[in-house]
Copies of this chain bind each other. A is one copy, B any other.
Amino acid sequence: MKKILLSCFLFALCFQLKAETGYELWLRYQALQDQALLSSYRQQISNIYMEGSSETIKIAREELLNGLSVMLQKKIPSVSVASASTASLFISARTSSFPSGSGIKELLQQTGDEGFVIHTQKINQQNRIFIAGNTDQAILYGVFHFLRLLQTQQPISSLQIVSVPKVKLRMLNHWDNMNRTVERGYAGFSLWNWHTLPGYIDPRYIDYARANASIGINGTVLTNVNANATILTPTYLEKVKALADAFRPYGIKVYLTARFSAPIEIGRLKTADPLDPQVRQWWKDKVKEIYQYVPDFGGFVVKANSEGQPGPQDYKRSHSDGANMLAEAVAPFKGIIMWRAFVYSAEKNVDRHKQAYDEFVPLDGAFNKNVMVQVKNGAIDFMPREPFHPLFGAMPKTPLMMEFQVTQEYLGQATNLVYLGPLFKECLDSDTYSNGKGSTVAKMLDGSFNKEQTLTGITGVANIGTDVNWCGHPFAQANWYALGRLAWDHSLSAEKIADEWLRMTYSNHPTFLQTASKLMMESRDVFVQYSNPNGLHHIMGTGHHYGPAPWVSNLNRPDWNPVYYHKADSLGIGFNRTATGSNALEQYHPEARKIWENMNTCEEKNLLWFHHVPWTFKMKSGRSLWDELCFNYYTGAAKVKSMQQAWASLKPYVDQQRHEQVRMLLTVQHEEAIWWRNACLLYFQTFSKQPIPANYEKPDKTLDYYKSLRFPLAPGNGN
Q: Chain A interface (Cβ within 8 Å of chain B)?
A: 4-6, 8-19, 21, 23, 29-33, 35, 38, 66, 69-71, 73-74, 177-180, 186, 188-189, 193-196, 199-201, 203-204, 230, 235, 414-415, 466-468, 472, 657, 660-661, 664-665, 667-668, 671, 710, 712-715, 718-719
Contact yes or no, B415 A199, CB < 8 A: yes
Chain B nearest CB from A318 CB (Å) reads 32
Residue of B nearest to A199 (CB): B668
Contact yes or no, B12 A73, CB < 8 A: yes
Contact yes or no, B19 A13, CB < 8 A: no
Instruction: Out of B9, B32, B193, B235, name the residue touching A31 (CB < 8 Å).
Output: B9
Contact yes or no, A714 B195, CB < 8 A: yes
Residue of B nearest to A27 (CB): B16
Instruction: Out of B9, B193, B200, name the residue touching A664 (CB < 8 Å).
Output: B200
Q: Which 7 residue pairs spanning A and B have beta carbons closest together?
A: A12-B31, A199-B668, A13-B13, A10-B10, A15-B69, A11-B73, A15-B70
- Given A199-B664, A230-B713, 12 additional A-B pairs, CB 8 A: A8-B73, A10-B10, A12-B73, A13-B14, A13-B17, A21-B203, A188-B466, A196-B415, A196-B668, A203-B657, A230-B712, A466-B466
**Can you sample 14 A-B contacts with CB below 8 Å?**
A10-B11, A10-B13, A12-B30, A15-B69, A18-B66, A21-B203, A195-B414, A195-B715, A196-B472, A199-B415, A200-B415, A203-B468, A230-B712, A466-B466
Q: Please, how many angstroms separate the alpha-carbon atoms of A186 and B193 in the complex?
A: 10
Copies in the complex: 2
Residue of B nearest to A657 (CB): B203
Which residues on B sit within 8 Å (CB–CB) of A657? 203
Residue from A23, A29, A31, A189 with most neighbouring chain B CB atoms (10 Å): A31
Residue of B nearest to A656 (CB): B203
Which residues on B sit within 8 Å (CB–CB) of A179? 713, 718-719
Which residues on B sit within 8 Å (CB–CB) of A177? 719
Which residues on B sit within 8 Å (CB–CB) of A661? 200, 203
Q: Please, how many angstroms separate the alpha-carbon atoms of A567 and B687 in the complex?
A: 74
Which residues on B sit within 8 Å (CB–CB) of A29? 12, 15-16
Q: Please, how many angstroms separate the alpha-carbon atoms of A239 and B296 in the complex?
A: 47
Chain B nearest CB from A473 CB (Å) reads 9
Which residues on B sit within 8 Å (CB–CB) of A189? 180, 188-189, 466
Q: Given that A23-B468, A69-B15, A466-B188 are contacting pairs, would A200 and B668 also be in contact in the complex, using a CB cutoff of 8 Å?
A: yes
Chain B nearest CB from A702 CB (Å) reads 18
Which residues on B sit within 8 Å (CB–CB) of A23? 21, 23, 468
Contact yes or no, A5 B33, CB < 8 A: yes
Q: Please, how many angstroms separate the alpha-carbon atoms of A179 and B468 in the complex?
A: 19
Q: Please, how many angstroms separate the alpha-carbon atoms of A405 and B203 in the complex?
A: 27
Contact yes or no, A66 B15, CB < 8 A: yes
Residue from A5, A69, A201, A713 with most neighbouring chain B CB atoms (10 Å): A713
Q: Please, how many angstroms separate the alpha-carbon atoms of A668 and B11 in the complex?
A: 38
Contact yes or no, B713 A178, CB < 8 A: yes
Instruction: Out of B9, B74, B467, name the residue touching A466 (CB < 8 Å).
Output: B467
Q: Please, how many angstroms separate the alpha-carbon atoms of A19 and B193 in the complex?
A: 21
Q: Please, how many angstroms separate the alpha-carbon atoms of A66 and B14 in the complex?
A: 10
Chain B nearest CB from A647 CB (Å) reads 14
Which residues on B sit within 8 Å (CB–CB) of A201? 664
Q: Given that A31-B8, A189-B188, A668-B199 are contacting pairs, would A713 and B73 also be in contact in the complex, using a CB cutoff of 8 Å?
A: no
Which residues on B sit within 8 Å (CB–CB) of A33? 5, 8-9
Which residues on B sit within 8 Å (CB–CB) of A71? 12
